[in-house]
Structure 1
Amino acid sequence: MGITTYIAIYFIVWWTVIFAVLPFGVRSQHEDGVIEDGTEPGAPQRPLLLRKILATSVIAAVIVGLFYWSVETGRLTLDMFPMPFKPY
């Protein structure tokens, strides 16, 4: 596979991981008891987005790195997956 394929895989894995990481450590304004006027009580007090973006990038890089290693060493091939039809 080419580098473009791995970049696309990284992009997909990154978006999947960010949705898994977003809820970690979030406390709402309601839970902290400090609700600012004009905001939703369920809004996060401190979302820590930069930390979550960095963690997501590292996790996605590890996952894609393991995938790259598996494909390039021959431990993972397309023949291992059942196909509903035979490609021509």
Structure 2
Amino acid sequence: MRWTSMLAIYVLFWAFSVFLVLPWGVRTTHEAGGEHVPGTAESAPHEFNLKRLAIRVTIVATVLWALFVLNYSYGWVEAGAFDFFDPANRTDMNVL
């Protein structure tokens, strides 16, 4: 696989991981013991730390991307393993 393809796939994993990591550790103002500010949603986070979010997303995306690259290299799970509609063409999954 070319490095540009690997980079593009990493960016996709990073963007997907944002939605995975975003709800981790979120506390509302009520849960944090603060006073609700009129005009804001009650479910809005009390504090938003972009740096902490970016670090968490980068870690999760890197782990997922590394598993993807290892699977691509070693062929642990192939696309044919998910062919549920045509059992004749289905290949068995390679188990570690």
TM-score, normalising length from structure 1? 0.71
Partner SS state of residue 40, structure 1: coil
Aligned-pair CA distance for 1:20: 1.1
Percent of residue pairs identical: 34
| Aligned-residue offset at 1:58 | 1.1
**Does residue 15 of structure 1 match 2:6?**
no
Q: How many residues align?
A: 84
Matches within 5 A, 1:1-88: 1-31=1-31, 32-75=33-76, 82=83
Return structure 1 stretches of 4+ with deviation > 6 angstroms. Answer: none
Question: Which residue identity is paired with 1:16?
Answer: F
Q: Shift of the alpha carbon at 1:81? A: 6.2
The TM-score with structure 2 as length reference comes to 0.66
The residue identity in structure 1 corresponding to 2:70 is W
Cα distance change of structure 1 residues 2 and 28 upon mapping to structure 2, 3 Å threshold: same
- Give the unaligned 5+ runs of structure 2: 84-96
Higher relative contact order (CA 8 A, sep 6+): 1
Q: Aligned-residue CA RMSD in angstroms?
A: 2.5
**Cα distance, 1:78–1:4 mapped onto 2, change above 3 Å:** farther
Once residues 3 and 81 of structure 2 are traced to their aligned partners in structure 1, the CA distance between those partners, rounded to angstroms, is 22
- Structure 1 residues 74 and 24, CA, compared in 2 at 3 Å: closer, same or farther? closer
Task: Write the letter of the residue equivalent to 2:51.
Answer: L
